[in-house]
A = this chain, B = another copy of it.
């Protein structure tokens, strides 16, 4: 009896206790990943002098997963996921919650228990004001390419390509390719293809993808890997990652000062990286030009495309045969699919909302300062699925365009995005010039000093695929610093 099977049963039981009124997660994950696959990849973690360090892994399978920062994982299967704790709060930080200032008493830690995460990104930090030191993911199943971003969760199910962003969730189901940002939720079902952003007493934005569009791009049937064009795009390029994980590679292209390129990123063709660019692990660049201060985060694909500068490609964003001007935000799991015949251009300062699909059947040009969402194939779609930010700011009340509904304060909505883009650029070190504050070092600069460590599961026997207990803790200066000459 392979104990991976028992671990899976244990996880299913724990998640089902929470979700029993919504869903039985058993059929979703029971036969989803072969034990052979779970046993065949190494996990890895980075060691840096810049981030508080602590890992403790117990009775878990971590194959293919990357860890950074501080993380405790217990009785979980975390497969080919990225647990990136470089934006965790530090002891002494002050967080403002509804006007109350809360001082962080300990370096924050990511805490994963009784959960199944499959090619999932976990990033940022806890936005649960009641648990600011612990970014907790418990009794949760997250499927292929889902994003758990700044979202603590207990008893949740995320379908493939689902994103839960800055939302504390308890007993919730998030359908495939849904995007949720709603502060905190309990016992909520978010249907597949729903884009939902809500700020209490501020605004609410919803968009619903058509079933046929979902079928074409991200189709999901219980117990199977998702299918559709988004998944095909990723699967077709999977092989390019294999050599990356089996040898130590030198930078394949020049990396200028202040920029960093993860050794676990794919780089093909004539790719160019400018100053202060961040390319994260599991990013994929082919014939890509990343202008100064741009970034390509985890699971991004930037192919035959150029980014002029200070452009953000959020986790899972895909940019193909596309030219981005300056200071553009491409949200989580957005799919910008131009082609040589039908290229795509995006003007300066535009916001491509998370989970936007632009699959150009004609050359498309998005004007500067646009807000863009939904599903777009041509100029007509674009007209229905975008609005000048200036117009958006004037909205105060209801706005309905195609499958999009907005209510509330448009100015606040635009400002929330703008503020976030600025914050992301700062965190990533886009403006780095050696000073402090917004010009200080970010991930692009700090990622230079990373040492990668691999860890493997038991190679055979009953424990095959399970990892031994691992605890990695910082070395203190206390002893050494007091040795006299």
Contacts and interface: CB of A to CB of B under 8 A. Distances in A.
A480 to B, nearest CB: 4
A466 interface: yes
A452 interface: yes
A320 interface: no
A468 B475 contact: yes
B247 A49 contact: no
Nearest to A460: B449
Contact of A471 (B471, B483, B485): B471
A449 B39 CA distance: 12
Contact of A475 (B1, B48, B467, B474): B467
A460 B47 contact: no
A471 B470 contact: yes
Interface residues of A, number: 49
Contacts of A42: 451, 453
B475 A59 contact: yes
Interface in A438-485: 449-464, 466-475, 477, 479-481, 483, 485
Contact of A247 (B48, B246, B454): B246
A100 interface: no
Contact of A457 (B1, B7, B246, B451): B451
A480 B48 contact: no
Interface in A46-63: 47-49, 53, 58-59
Interface string A378-421: 00000000000000000000000000000000000000000000
A101 interface: no
Nearest to A246: B248
A3 interface: yes
A326 interface: no
Given A467-B475, A475-B468, A479-B59, A458 B3 contact: no
A9 interface: yes
| This protein's copies in its complex | 2
Contacts of A1: 481
Contacts of A481: 1, 3, 6
Nearest to A463: B475
Contacts of A456: 47, 451-453
A465 B75 CA distance: 32
Given A7-B480, A247-B248, A47 B485 contact: no
Nearest to A8: B483
Contact of A49 (B6, B53, B449, B459): B459
Interface in A334-382: none
Contacts of A460: 49, 449
A10 B480 contact: yes
Nearest to A461: B49
A355 B277 CA distance: 57
Contact of A449 (B10, B248, B459): B459
A275 to B, nearest CB: 21
A247 to B, nearest CB: 4
Contacts of A454: 452-454
A466 B475 CA distance: 8
Interface in A147-174: none
Interface in A269-326: none
B7 A459 contact: no
A49 B466 CA distance: 11
A458 B450 CA distance: 8
A29 to B, nearest CB: 15
A463 B49 contact: yes
Nearest to A483: B6
Contacts of A58: 475
Contact of A474 (B247, B248, B469): B469
B458 A455 contact: no
A468 B47 contact: yes
Contacts of A47: 456-459, 468
B459 A450 contact: yes
8 contacts: A3-B477, A10-B483, A47-B459, A452-B456, A458-B475, A469-B471, A469-B472, A470-B472
Interface of A: 1, 3, 6-7, 9-10, 42, 47-49, 53, 58-59, 75, 246-248, 449-464, 466-475, 477, 479-481, 483, 485
Given A47-B457, A468-B475, A469-B471, 9 more contacts: A1-B481, A47-B458, A49-B460, A49-B464, A247-B248, A451-B458, A453-B454, A458-B475, A469-B474
